Structure 1
Amino acid sequence: MGLKQINSTWLYTSVALIAFAANSILCRLALKDEAIDPSSFTSIRLLSGVVMFIVLLAFPRNGKKHNMQLLSFSGKNFLAAGTLFIYAIGFSYAYITLDTGTGALILFGTVQLTMIGIGFIRGEKLHVFDGAGIFIAFGGLIYLLYPTISTPNMSGALYMVIAGVAWGVYTVLGRASAAPLTDTANNFIWTMPLVIVLFIFTVTSANITVKGAFLAVLSGAFASALGYSVWYKALNTLGNIQAAVLQLSVPVIAAIGGVLFVFESITIRLMLSSLMVLGGILLVILRKSR
């Protein structure tokens, strides 16, 4: 892997992880204030993602039109779209009853275990440095979230576990993507039949405010559509273990975002946990580089 490719990979990865953190913040803001119900949030989020892709693909790239195979369908499309939808709806319903810290811990713990498990089944060995890095990074995440962790509501915890497994599978599928923008666009488009079914069953209980709809659009069009496309691009050169551990940085990024944009205070806990998470990630990256 050349230096240029390495730099591109980490640029894509950094943008994607920031988008993930933004997505979590937008979802929590919408559902915490009951500005929108979880089904409507999920539907608008995925629909606005589709609209964003239509806009993106309408513009030529380097003077040429995109050579896209949109609406192509295969078993992989079905699995990717299904896991994307399951993640989105599970994530939304989980945050009705879970607090931020508990939800993040369950989600990223489940994602990590799912991806490492799939990697192990496929023959990807867990090196001692990988194990140490995972232990340190996950310990840093627990330390960061410990003050806000509470005994989880069982239904909320189950929704978040399902969301974590679905996102782990979706991420693993992305490693084989040769055309990240096209594949992500197809994934969003093929969630639309599921969105229609969801709408039919939940329309009578819908609760949508202007604020809630706006947050859902931001989540879908930018943090999801663009963020997931960039993530699929980064996954071309990341292993399962790397990708799993890197996502443990999302709660830390969200916390730092709170300091920068919501003017929350910088605490010793945030600084120490950030060092632990980043140090654990560094161990895994250095082992992979070697």
Structure 2
Amino acid sequence: MKKGILLLVTATLLWAGNYICGRYLGSALPATLLNTVRWAVSTLILWGLLVLSKKQLPIIKWWKEFLVLGFLGIFAFSTLNYIGLKSISASQAGMISAGIPITILIFTPMFLKEKVKPKAWIGAVISIFGVILLVQGKQGVSSEGSMIGEAAILLSCVAWGMYTVLGKKYGKQIDPLTMTAGAAFYGTLLSLVSCIGTVDLGSINMTPNAWICIVYVSTFASVVAYFAWNAGVKIVGAGRAAPYINLLPVWTVLLGVLILQEQISGLTLVGGLVTILGAVLASL
């Protein structure tokens, strides 16, 4: 159980870095092209890991499962995040992600026929309350945001909730590395198709920082984080894993302070502590 919790925490920390990089890359690449480049590189890495592990990628045998996971977790979730990060701050996007546990807990009994224990609901509610405090704390120092950006991040929460629950379901037959690689393959294809007619080559503006961010989101925020999350969910269960996604706003705010020099209030700090408390409660 401790190993599963560590994997979930690691995944959220790496994804928080993705929000920071998303802000840098917002002006460098269109969202659909960014997601295609990110996951094309990630797919090659994952495929290489499978070869080293002497495993094959059954893209035909499990095509339906991989296609569904690729659409939800690779294409929809990532692309919507990058669209949202063009108009709202990384901290705001990370804090909106608090809606993910709610979607996971709703979809868990729906798709898995799995009863969610009251303790998990309580932990999720406490985490949500902590994120509300985080939002209130950030509002005092930043008013940046837009309805389109917020809506895109909210929709990404729904996509990730379904990806997590279905990943748990399919994980009974497919190991985490194979499942992540298969989803990445089909998700990349969908992202590539979405580039048709939506990408203006004149809007590409790559800088040294943008290249560094591309490397990060293609490796740590993709391969390592997705593998850690899938493995963690398989160990602790989808319902119990749900509140841990609320660590995202905590890491995002901390990275925003350290990297983007964002200000942080006392209320934000309290909100972060409450969010962690909720995640820990759900895991006891």
Instruction: Please classify the TM superposition score into its range, dividing by the shorter chain length.
Output: 0.7 to 0.9
TM-score by length of 1: 0.83
Matched, 1:158 2:151: yes
**SS state of the match for residue 28, structure 2?**
coil
Matched, 1:202 2:191: no
TM-score by length of 2: 0.85
Q: 8 Å contact 1:50–1:188 — kept in the other structure?
A: yes
CA positional deviation for 1:94: 1.2
**SS state of the match for residue 202, structure 1?**
coil
Q: For residues 106 and 278 of structure 1, do their structure 2 counterparts lie closer, same or farther at Cα, with a shift above 3 Å needed?
A: closer
CA positional deviation for 1:128: 4.0
Identity of aligned residues (%): 23
Once residues 196 and 258 of structure 1 are traced to their aligned partners in structure 2, the CA distance between those partners, rounded to angstroms, is 30
Q: For residues 190 and 128 of structure 1, do their structure 2 counterparts lie closer, same or farther at Cα, with a shift above 3 Å needed?
A: closer
Q: Who is 2:127 aligned against?
A: 137
Q: Who is 2:47 aligned against?
A: 54
Q: Who is 1:275 aligned against?
A: 273
Q: Who is 1:192 aligned against?
A: 188
Q: 8 Å contact 1:41–1:212 — kept in the other structure?
A: no
| Aligned partner (choices 53, 57, 78) of residue 69 of structure 1 | 57
Once residues 131 and 160 of structure 2 are traced to their aligned partners in structure 1, the CA distance between those partners, rounded to angstroms, is 19
Please give the residue correspondences for 1:101-250 in structure 2 after superposition, counting only pairs within 5 Å: 101-109=91-99, 111-121=100-110, 122-149=112-139, 150=143, 153-176=146-169, 177=171, 178-205=174-201, 206-210=203-207, 211-250=209-248
Q: 8 Å contact 1:99–1:148 — kept in the other structure?
A: no
Aligned length: 273
| Residue ranges of structure 2 left out of the alignment (5+ in a row) | none
Once residues 250 and 263 of structure 2 are traced to their aligned partners in structure 1, the CA distance between those partners, rounded to angstroms, is 14
Q: Who is 2:33 aligned against?
A: 40
Q: Who is 1:3 aligned against?
A: none
Once residues 6 and 158 of structure 2 are traced to their aligned partners in structure 1, the CA distance between those partners, rounded to angstroms, is 26
| Two-structure CA RMSD over aligned residues (Å) | 2.5
Q: 8 Å contact 1:37–1:208 — kept in the other structure?
A: no
CA positional deviation for 1:106: 2.9
| Residue ranges of structure 1 left out of the alignment (5+ in a row) | 1-5, 60-64
Q: Who is 1:62 aligned against?
A: none
